Amino acid sequence: MKIEVHKNTIEFEIESEEDLYVLYLLIDKGDLLYGWTTREFKTRKHEKGERKKIYIGLRVETLEYHAFRGSLRVRGVIIEAPEWFDGIIGSHHTMELIRGVKYRLVKSENFDIVTLQRVLDLFSRSHARALIISVGDEETTIANCRVFGIEVVTSIVNRHVTGKAAEVDRSKQFEKYAEDIVRQVKALVKPSDIDYVVIAGPSRVLDYVKEILVEGLKSLGKPIKVVQLSEGGLAGIYELQTYASDALADILRLHELKLVDEIFDRLARGRGDVAIGIDEVKKALEQGAVQHLLIIDELYKELGPEIKELVNTLVRTGAGLVIVPSFTNAADKLRGLGGIAALLRYELFREE
């Protein structure tokens, strides 16, 4: 995302779907958003109008973010519009933010540049976009991995392997199966939309299809990683999320889930180096005990000014901040703990 910050004004231009999520975190109720949009214009009261492209200012009321659809809609009250568009000031309007358009966001007077910079730093590192091909005996599941989680795209049924064929026949059957996968993947995927290809599945399947898949997908021009699992298909996708190595986790963005699992593991063992809920997190931050703070994005938005105080303390103590998208498996688990928790550097809340 192209972005410039001037005091309480942020000018930005969206370059990717991931940018929409960052903006969802940055834009708050009461902010002023300026940009191009379209609205129906009628020359006469009962005539059918036509949509006109206009530049407006909007006082933000609500945001509607759809991760896998890749859209961010901002609803609010129009405070500035062209003079020729009569009666529009004070009416409600929904502006959908789109790529390639420049916008200007004016924050309130209590705008905190430290909080903004921490959120930008959190999401400014390169977000690898991985295409996952989980190959099973009977079907292959294709999924996209983005900053906000893993999205299953489609499944490819194995129509070639049947019964207990002789080994030579089975090899030919899997060869046709692999060729089907390559053909459909190429039809589905734009190389510009991915950074990695991950081929995963059990060894009994990979032994037959790995070479054909790797060779056939080289034309995408992306690094290809092969991962051995106990199962393929949709079950393989779930297995990847749970047991992926640290190296693969960097690509699949599974660190949030691993940190949440670490919280539950420590709690199960009765350890006191975990803070649960806003009160315990505050106490741990005050004592410099927080190593990683995890918070669901919806709670991050709700806390408003309170989160700024927490982030400022994080910056002073060198603790890590992890904002967990509310539509991920990690968020489902963290929500059961009140939406906010922290891994600590030492035991602080051990039960007697």
Residue 151 has which token pair? 């999205």
For residue 84, tell me if it sits in a domain: yes
| Digit-coded pLDDT (tens) for 45-104 | 656 678 889 999 999 999 988 765 668 899 999 999 998 888 899 999 999 998 888 999
* Of the candidates 120, 117, 95, the residue with the CA atom closest to the CA atom of residue 34: 95
| Digit-coded pLDDT (tens) for 258-317 | 888 899 999 999 999 999 999 999 999 989 999 999 999 888 888 777 777 787 788 778
Sign of CA dihedral 290, 294, 297, 302: negative
| Digit-coded pLDDT (tens) for 143-179 | 988 666 677 889 999 988 765 655 557 888 999 999 9
Residue 162 to residue 177: CA distance in whole angstroms: 11
Last residue in a domain, options 223, 252, 281: 252
The pLDDT mean for the chain works out to: 85
CB 341 within 8 A of CB 263: yes
Query: What stretch of H or E contains 66?
Result: strand 50-66
Residue 102 to residue 3: CA distance in whole angstroms: 10
189-193, 219-223, 333-337 — which is least confidently predicted? 189-193
CB 58 within 8 A of CB 93: yes
Last residue in a domain, options 233, 252, 271: 252
| Percent of the chain at pLDDT exceeding 70 | 87
Helix (H/G/I), strand (E/B), else coil: 101? coil
In the chain, count of helices (H) and strands (E)? Answer: 11, 16
Same domain? For 90 and 152 the reply is no
Q: What is the pLDDT of residue 65?
A: 82
Q: What is the pLDDT of residue 309?
A: 78
Residue 180 to residue 291: CA distance in whole angstroms: 47
Q: What is the pLDDT of residue 122?
A: 66
Same domain? For 142 and 242 the reply is yes
Same domain? For 236 and 134 the reply is yes
* Domain CATH code at residue 80: 2.30.30.870
Same domain? For 83 and 181 the reply is no
Same domain? For 305 and 339 the reply is yes
Q: What is the pLDDT of residue 93?
A: 95
Residue 198 — very low, low, confident or very high, per pLDDT cuts 50/70/90? very high
| Digit-coded pLDDT (tens) for 121-139 | 766 554 567 899 999 999 9
Range of the domain at 280: 256-344
Residue 209 to residue 24: CA distance in whole angstroms: 41
